[in-house]
Amino acid sequence: MNSRIAGPALAVLLAANFASAQSWQPPADAQRCPSKWGAADQRGSANHMKPETVLRAARLIRTGQVFELGHVLSGSMPFFGTRRFDVHTKRTNMNVGSNRRGSNEEIIVGELGQVGTQFDAFPHQTIGGSLYNCFPLEENATRSGFAKLGVEGVGALMTRGVLIDVAALKGVDMLPDTYEITPTDLQQALERQKQTLQPGDAAIIHTGWSRLWEKDNARYVKTNPGIGVAAAEWLAKQDPMLVGADNWSVEIGPNPDPAVSLPIHQIMLVVNGIHLLENMRLGELAAARAYEFALVLQPLKIQGGTGSTVAPIAIR
């Protein structure tokens, strides 16, 4: 290496090398469509949601203990970009009738599919102009939602949840800011916990990152530890119902390869039709070493929505 090349120039050079040598490329449409769930399929991994899946999860409820996995929704949450969650209180009736009834409500404004603890449906992401199962973006994006693949079609999810505690594996409260979780990390964490992933499970990854929630929002959204391409592809092979984590994008952000933008979003949502669950609140679950549980999740049935803010629970 020419010792005079350094700093930004070096970074560009390395990035260029990196990109030409190794950048992840999305598969061609013909390679990914039709999806393994069939040519007309819009449900992807939610096809795992069957009576036997529910029963399998219900059998894990032994003590009735409930863990709340959703953060409180407020204007002081960390937000990505210009997203908002604003509550405007309205007093709409005051002292009405002989019973002196008063009424209050609120108008709420926000990117409701993509704030707080959030569930990603498939219209959230594309490869070029193409959605999951090669539904074309242009035909489906209307001014007020997506004609196909909208979150209203997902329905409630109840399945066996498995916490994969990578922070505990590494002996830290919180993984470093740009730590890429590898397939080995996931496998070792599962071994340590004496768990295995089964098809249809919810794979929930604990990074410890949510310790920053409303404590250091700027750091929370700037980068985050998370799964890389290799870990995502290994997880996709395990055939889960969803992959969740306690960070804002599940995946490592930004990707160590500067040429690609949030590739795990494409791998999961577009290529494999696997839902994501972001900004989870996992501290109590990890502290209790509750590695296996019934996960219950009720996405709002937003017509044509790209996702939904949610308040999931783990029960054991």
- Residues numbered 268 to 297 that lie near a copy of itself (CB under 8 A) are 296-297
Give the number of other CB atoms < 10 A from CB of residue 74: 11
SS3 146: strand
Among the residue ranges 135-143, 161-169, 203-211, 235-243, the one whose residues contact a copy of itself (CB under 8 A): 135-143
Closest approach, Cβ 198 to a copy of itself, in A, equals: 16
Residue 230 near a copy of itself by CB under 8 A: no
Phi, psi of 2 (to 5 degrees): -65, 120
Q: Can you read off the two tokens belonging to residue 279?
A: 């900004």
- Among 35, 125, 133, 247, the residue binding a copy of itself under the rule CB under 8 A is 125
| Residue 11 beta carbon to a copy of itself: minimum distance, rounded to whole angstroms | 16
d(CA 101, CA 241): 46
CB of 70 to a copy of itself, least distance (A): 6
Of positions 38, 102, 136, 199, contacts a copy of itself by CB under 8 A:
102
Q: How far is the CB of 82 from a copy of itself (least distance, A)?
A: 5
- One-letter identity of residue 194: K
Which of 265, 274, 290, 293 forms a contact with a copy of itself (CB under 8 A)?
265
Contact between 146 and a copy of itself (CB under 8 A)?
yes
Please pick, from the candidates 141, 172, 174, 230, the single residue that binds a copy of itself as defined by CB under 8 A: 141
Q: Measured between alpha carbons, how far is 11 from 120 in angstroms, rounded to an integer?
A: 33
User: What are the backbone angles phi and psi of residue 162, rounded to the nearest 5°?
Assistant: -125, 120
Give the nearer residue to a copy of itself in terms of CB position, either 191 or 284: 284
Helix, strand, or coil (residue 46): helix
**Closer residue to a copy of itself (CB): 224 or 249:** 249
Whether residue 250 contacts residue 227, with contact meaning beta carbons closer than 8 Å, is answered with yes
Q: In this structure, what token pair is assigned to residue 258?
A: 């500067």
Look up residue 261 and give its amino acid: S
Q: Which is nearer to a copy of itself, 137 or 172 (CB)?
A: 137
What three-state secondary structure class fits 14? helix
* Interface of this chain with a copy of itself, residues 187 to 226, rule: CB under 8 A: none
* Separation between Cα atoms, residue 32 and residue 292, nearest integer Å: 32
User: Tokens for 31?
Assistant: 């390679």
CB 291 within 8 A of CB 147: no
Counting residues that bind a copy of itself (by CB under 8 A) gives 103
Q: Which of residues 37-66 bind a copy of itself (CB under 8 A)?
A: 49-55, 58, 61, 63-66
Show contacts with a copy of itself in window 62-101 (CB under 8 A): 63-66, 68, 70-75, 81-84, 86-101
CB 275 within 8 A of CB 155: no
Backbone torsions φ then ψ of 278, nearest 5 degrees = -110, 165
- Kindly tell me which of 34 and 75 has the beta carbon lying closer to a copy of itself: 75
Question: What residues does 227 pair with on adjacent strands?
Answer: 181, 251
Q: Does 128 bind a copy of itself (CB under 8 A)?
A: yes
Q: Give the residue with the Cβ less far from a copy of itself, 122 or 179.
A: 122
Q: Which stretch binds a copy of itself (CB under 8 A): 32-40, 104-112, 187-195, 202-210?
A: 104-112
